Amino acid sequence: MDKKKIEKAVEMVLEAVGANLKKKDIAATPRRVAQMYEEILRGQNLDASKELDIILEQKHDEIILLKDIPLYSMCEHHMLPFLGRAYIAYIPDKRITGLSKIARVVDILARRLQVQERLTTEIADVIMKKLKPKGVMVVIEAEHLCMSMRGIKKPGTLTTTSVVRGVFRSNQKTRQEALGLMKS
């Protein structure tokens, strides 16, 4: 990430909105913003699939569910945050990973310029490709500050996206069981 370029761009934005760059409280803002972007967009060039180590190779054909995984990302359309929670269920077919590894996948993929729809799909695709489970289901609920702070100005509005693969798509009973667990 080119932090110097970001600093120059932020200086230009501050000048364009009429901010006084000589003011003590604003003088370091370009540097702070560049550091912030480096931190919150650190997943931009990382391979999330590298997080999913196979820790067990055993028969387990029941749902594994992680719920309420906090996430935040930056909307690529307005560069404003969206904040929410991810719910991920999968049914292994011999390959099980550490629970924290799935949360790390969410973190890496969310720390990019992103849209919620693609984020939901990318999480499911990484899990399907690396773990080769019988199925995976990903649900994300998030508030988009580009809707809350600007435009329509409807704070508190949640957007829900879901992706279902494998047995969660083909078997309604399994899908309903996972949804029930996510809501409980």
Distance CA(21)–CA(95), nearest Å, equals 55
Identified catalytic residue from 51, 116, 122, 141: 116
Identified catalytic residue from 77, 114, 143, 176: 77
57 is catalytic: no
15 is catalytic: no
- Pair of tokens at residue 138: 């990903």
- Pair of tokens at residue 141: 């609920």
60 is catalytic: no
Distance CA(142)–CA(83), nearest Å, equals 5
Contact 181, 63 (CB under 8 A): yes
146 is catalytic: yes
- How would you label 110-122 residue by residue, b for 16+ Cβ within 10 Å and e otherwise? bbbebebeebbbb
Identified catalytic residue from 51, 114, 122, 144: 144
78 is catalytic: yes
Identified catalytic residue from 35, 44, 60, 78: 78
Identified catalytic residue from 38, 44, 146, 177: 146
Contact 34, 6 (CB under 8 A): yes
Distance CA(147)–CA(145), nearest Å, equals 5
172 is catalytic: no
Identified catalytic residue from 75, 114, 122, 141: 75
Contacts of 114 by beta carbon, 8 Å cutoff, 6+ apart: 73, 74, 75, 76
Identified catalytic residue from 15, 76, 117, 176: 76
Which active-site residues does the annotation give?
75-78, 116, 144, 146
